[in-house]
Copies of this chain bind each other. A is one copy, B any other.
Amino acid sequence: LTTRKPRTRATLRDVAQDAGVSFSAVSKALRAIPGVSAAMRARVQESAQRLGYRPHAAARGMRGQTFTLGVLISDLRNPFFSEIFAGLDAALASTPYQPFFGIGGADPATENAIVDSMIDRQMDGVILIGPTIQPPDLQQIAKEIPTAVIGVHLPKVGSLDTINNDDELGGRLVVQHLHALGRQRITYLTLDPMPQKDGVTVYRERGYREEMQRLGLDKHIRILGVTSDSEQIRHVALSLLRSSRPPDAIFCWTDYVAFEVIGAARELGLSVPGDVAVVGYDNTPFCRLPQNALTSVDQSGRLLGQQAGRLLLDRIAGRTTSQHFVVTPTLVARASTEVLAPSTDGSEASRRARSRTARAAASVR
C-alpha cells in the first residue's frame, strides 16, 4: 500500500533555503549536472526529498523540455491499441518521459486540432497511431515537433519516422493460406472511406490483389468497403453472404470486422469455415475465444509500440535522419479457416501456421 505524501509544491527556492544553498545550485544538483560536489548533491537531495519537491512542468516548458509525449489514437474501437501501448510503456520505462494520449474522431480536422493542442503544450514529441491526417500535413507537423507515425507507409519521407508491419506481405499471407486450403472466391473487406492512400489497408489490399493474380485467381478478386460502424458492417456482410455467388472466404481488414462477419454468417445459419472461411488482422485477444476462433495476422503491436517509443526518443535526442521500421507479420491459423485437431494440453485449439514460422523480425530500411 502506497501512501501519498502531502505535497507542498515546494520550489527550487524552498529547497535551496532548506538546504542553505543557492537555488541555482539546487537546480544543478537535482539534475545531476557536472559542476556540483557530491556533498552538496547529497544535502540537496535530502532536502528535496523531505520537502516533497517536484519540478514545475510549466516552468520547465518555458525554458526547455516538458518530458511529455503526446500519443494520438484515432480509432478507439480497435483493441489492437492496447498492445501498442504495452510496447511504448516498455520503451519509456526508466526514462523521465511521460506519455499522454489524445483521442481523435478519425477525421483529419479533429486530429489536427489535437496535435495542435499537443504542440501548444510544448510536448517534446508525438506518436501518431493510424492517423487520418494526410501526408502533407504530417510533414508539416514533423517540422514543428519530433514525430513518429504508426500505420502509414511513407518510406520516402525524410522528416519523420514511420513504424509499420509489412501490410503487403500480410495480405499475401492470407491469400496463400486460404488458397492452400482450397479457397478461391476470396473477398477483401477494406476500410472505406480510406484514411489515406498510403494507409495500411491499401497495402493489405495490394498484397491481396497481387497474390490473387499470382495464383491465377484474378477473376475472383472482389473488394468491398466497410466503415467502422458495426451495423453497416453487418449489413454489408449479410448482403455479401446472401448474394447469388457468395465468396468461400472473406479477408477482413481488421479483427472486429471479422467478428461481425462471423456473426452475420451465424445469423444466416451458415457454417464457418464450412460455408465461408473468415480471416482478420491484428490478432487481438478475442480472436482466441472459441466462438470466434478467428484466423488473424499478427503484426506484433508490442514491437511496433516499443520501436515508436525508441525512435521518438532518439529523434528528440537529436537524430535528424529519418528511419522507417518494418515488422514482418505472421499468420495465426485458427478454426475460422480450417478445422484443427484439438491440442493435447487442452489449451487453445490453434497454433502458429507451421509453414510461416518467421518470427516477427525487424528490418530498418
Contacts and interface: CB of A to CB of B under 8 A. Distances in A.
Please tell me the size bucket of the interface on A.
35 or more
Contacts of A7: 116, 119, 144
Given A4-B140, A85-B76, A260-B289, A102 B103 contact: no
B260 A109 contact: no
Contacts of A109: 2
A134 interface: yes
Nearest to A139: B4
Copies of this chain in its oligomeric complex: 2
B285 A263 contact: no
A194 to B, nearest CB: 13
B285 A266 contact: no
Nearest to A57: B121
A273 to B, nearest CB: 14
B286 A266 contact: no
B3 A136 contact: yes
A288 interface: yes
Nearest to A117: B98
Nearest to A138: B4
Contact of A108 (B2, B81, B260): B2
A2 B263 contact: no
Contacts of A292: 291
A89 B107 CA distance: 15
A120 interface: yes
Contacts of A85: 76, 103
Contact of A6 (B62, B70, B82, B140): B140
A3 B137 contact: yes
Nearest to A289: B263
A267 interface: yes
Nearest to A230: B285
Nearest to A108: B2
Given A144-B7, A289-B259, A62 B54 contact: no
Contacts of A61: 57-58, 61
A332 to B, nearest CB: 15
Given A85-B76, A101-B102, A58 B122 contact: yes
Nearest to A9: B144
A230 B288 CA distance: 10
A147 interface: no
A249 interface: no
Given A76-B82, A82-B77, A266-B291, A100 B98 contact: no
Interface string A225-248: 000001000000000000000000
Nearest to A62: B58
Interface string A87-122: 001000000001111110000110010101101111
Contacts of A266: 290-291
23 contacts: A1-B134, A2-B112, A2-B137, A3-B136, A6-B143, A7-B144, A55-B120, A57-B120, A57-B121, A58-B61, A58-B62, A77-B79, A77-B82, A98-B102, A99-B103, A230-B288, A259-B289, A262-B289, A263-B288, A263-B289, A264-B290, A266-B291, A291-B292
